[in-house]
């Protein structure tokens, strides 16, 4: 069932995101924005190399109708070999890069984090094998266990005075636990070998996926690099923390949900499955919006009192950035499904061109806004992001024969509930949520209005739930191996 797999992955990503968020907040008590900016500036390089060495093979492994042990093993060893080479290059270039951007301490941070690249890429192949067989409960347990284990070490390190190295230890240890656990659980379905010619067909599909991933990565991360080069590490720290708030719905729901949706739609390849596909897509979009829309719009006014009260004074400038970027996070949480939908329909090339437009738009937005400061960057990013997300949804809907009316209907409960809730909350407090009493009133009114609106739309919502309850074939039906 789609809903069971979505709940498994969403639950574990709630745990992972909460753990990472809490560790980040804890670290802010011990470090300055400048120190935090070193990690915020470094992580895009680590993520880029991990994505680059994947070569799109993990998506190709999931999408293929058949996959032998040798093919899975060859793809895994190829990714790891390239990952090791890229990690060595990153470590060797860390000192020149630090000198180029004039960030003291950056070389040591980059060199330390380069080890996580190899560990991260080592987990991708085995994880893809589990996704093929729709073993999302196993994936969820591994991801949650890795997050909690590494978080324990990170918290202890922070309390012992490790400073920013506590956060680095958290990232590296988490990838180590993931790599070991995923391989142990798939060792019977992967025969490690160097028969790399056997993955040529997967590379053909994966090449378009890789190109799309590179462009999407640029759209999400070019901001930090440009801000760091232009405004310095402190500005990167502020924007990076606000960006973490914005990407919470992506990390918790959309990215894991997109993987589940692609794997499930790829298994729905029989005759008469078209209506089931459409119903599943609309249901996933609607249910995601019901969670992410209210949550992200709440951040535009609901964080004012907590941030002012609990964060240290040198982080107060992050509040307006979060308020501006939060609606972009809501829009992206839905548009993020366009890619998996296109890939499941074997439209990797179209996904590449969509990603090209997205990346070019975001880079242009930063170039235009950066001379005017961080607030202008956030505002322009919001406008461009909403326009691009609307375009991505329209393209995704059109290419899977979903009418715009059906798409609007799927998003209507969340849109109406969120709009009414925000309006009533701000009217009840006259727009002032700085005090504890007004913050409590705004939160209570917003919650009641949103939940009440969902009661009104209960029939439409229940219809979506029913679509998800019956929307996924079992591993046996899909002719896939079960995880050990």
CA distance 303 to 285: 26
For residue 339, pLDDT beyond 80? yes
Please give the average per-residue pLDDT across 163-186, as a whole number.
88
Q: Which of 219-233, 261-275, 417-431 has the highest mean pLDDT?
A: 417-431
pLDDT of res. 440: 92
When the pLDDT of each residue in the chain is averaged and rounded to a whole number, the result is 80
CA distance 200 to 192: 16
CB distance 147 to 178 below 8 Å: no
pLDDT of res. 472: 42
CA distance 16 to 144: 6
Token digits of residue 353: 């061109």
In a domain? residue 474: no
Listed in order, strand segments (DSSP E) in 348-443 are none
Domain span including residue 30: 2-469
In three-state secondary structure terms, 483 is coil
In a domain? residue 116: yes
Token digits of residue 97: 């890069």
In a domain? residue 479: no
For residue 103, pLDDT beyond 80? no
In a domain? residue 109: yes
Number of domains in the chain: 1
For residue 345, pLDDT beyond 70? yes
CA distance 119 to 122: 5
In a domain? residue 25: yes
In a domain? residue 484: no
The residue among 368, 39, 361 whose CA lies nearest residue 216 is 361
Number of Cα atoms under 13 Å in the Cβ half of residue 285: 30
The residue among 289, 283, 291 whose CA lies nearest residue 264 is 283
Q: Which of 94-108, 216-230, 273-287, 325-339 has the highest mean pLDDT?
A: 325-339
pLDDT of res. 484: 33
CA distance 33 to 313: 11
pLDDT of res. 355: 81
Tens of pLDDT along 35-51?
777 777 787 777 777 77
pLDDT of res. 290: 93
- What confidence category does residue 7 fall into, taking pLDDT thresholds of 50, 70 and 90? low
Number of Cβ within 10 Å of residue 155's Cβ equals: 17
Token digits of residue 450: 């949103």
CA distance 246 to 321: 10
Q: What's the Cα-to-Cα distance from 293 to each of 24, 250, 286, 331, rounded to whole Å?
A: 24, 12, 10, 8
CA distance 436 to 89: 51
pLDDT of res. 444: 94
pLDDT of res. 481: 39
The more confidently predicted of residues 372 and 472 is 372
In a domain? residue 478: no
pLDDT of res. 446: 94
Please give the average per-residue pLDDT across 373-385, as a whole number.
87
CA distance 303 to 433: 9
For residue 448, pLDDT beyond 90? yes
pLDDT of res. 474: 39
For residue 102, pLDDT beyond 80? no
For residue 278, pLDDT beyond 60? yes
CB distance 70 to 273 below 8 Å: no
Residue 215 belongs to what H/E stretch? helix 200-231
CA distance 198 to 71: 6
- What confidence category does residue 483 fall into, taking pLDDT thresholds of 50, 70 and 90? very low
The residue among 298, 174, 319, 318 whose CA lies nearest residue 234 is 318
In a domain? residue 481: no
pLDDT of res. 276: 78
């Amino acid at each position: 069932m789609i809903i069971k797999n979505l709940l498994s992955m969403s639950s574990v990503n709630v745990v992972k995101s909460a753990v990472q968020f809490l560790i980040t907040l804890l670290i802010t008590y011990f470090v300055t924005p400048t120190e935090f900016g070193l990690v915020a500036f470094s992580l895009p390089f680590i993520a880029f190399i991990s994505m680059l060495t994947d070569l799109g093979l993990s998506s190709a492994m999931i999408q293929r109708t058949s996959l032998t042990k040798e093919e899975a093993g060859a793809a895994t060893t190829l990714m790891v070999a390239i990952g090791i080479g890229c990690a060595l290059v990153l470590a060797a270039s860390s000192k020149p890069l630090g000198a180029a951007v004039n960030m003291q301490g950056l070389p040591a941070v980059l060199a330390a984090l380069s080890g996580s690249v190899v560990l991260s890429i080592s987990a991708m192949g085995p994880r893809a094998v589990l996704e093929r067989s729709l073993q999302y409960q196993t994936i969820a347990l591994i991801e949650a266990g890795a997050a909690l284990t590494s978080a324990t070490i990170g918290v202890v390190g922070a309390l012992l005075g490790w400073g920013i190295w506590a956060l680095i230890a958290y990232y590296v240890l988490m990838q180590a636990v993931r790599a070991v656990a995923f391989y142990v659980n798939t060792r019977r379905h992967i025969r490690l070998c160097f028969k790399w010619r056997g993955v040529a067909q997967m590379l053909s599909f994966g090449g378009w996926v890789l190109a799309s991933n590179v462009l999407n990565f640029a759209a999400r991360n070019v901001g930090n690099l440009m801000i760091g080069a232009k405004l310095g590490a402190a500005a990167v720290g502020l924007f990076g923390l606000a960006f973490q708030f914005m990407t919470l719905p992506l990390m918790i729901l959309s990215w894991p949900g997109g993987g589940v949706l692609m794997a499930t739609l790829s298994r729905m390849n029989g005759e008469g499955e078209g209506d089931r596909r459409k119903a599943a897509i609309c249901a996933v979009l609607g249910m995601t919006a019901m969670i992410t829309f209210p949550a992200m719009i709440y951040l535009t006014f609901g964080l004012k009192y907590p941030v002012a009260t609990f964060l240290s004074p040198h982080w107060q400038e992050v509040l307006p950035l979060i308020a501006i970027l939060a609606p972009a996070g809501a829009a992206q949480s839905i548009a993020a499904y366009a890619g998996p939908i296109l890939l499941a329909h074997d439209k990797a090339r179209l996904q590449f061109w969509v990603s090209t437009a997205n990346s070019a738009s975001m880079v242009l937005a930063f170039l235009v806004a950066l001379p005017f400061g961080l607030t202008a960057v956030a505002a322009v990013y919001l406008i461009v992001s909403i326009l691009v997300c609307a375009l991505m949804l329209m393209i995704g809907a059109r290419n899977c024969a979903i009418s715009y009316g059906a798409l609007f209907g799927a998003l209507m409960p969340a849109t109406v509930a969120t709009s009414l809730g925000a309006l009533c909350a701000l009217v009840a407090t006259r727009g002032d949520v700085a005090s504890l009493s007004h913050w409590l009133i705004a939160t209570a009114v917003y919650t009641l209005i949103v939940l009440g609106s969902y009661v009104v739309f209960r029939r439409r919502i229940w219809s979506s739930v029913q679509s998800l309850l019956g929307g996924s074939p079992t591993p046996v039906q899909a002719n896939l191996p079960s995880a050990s």
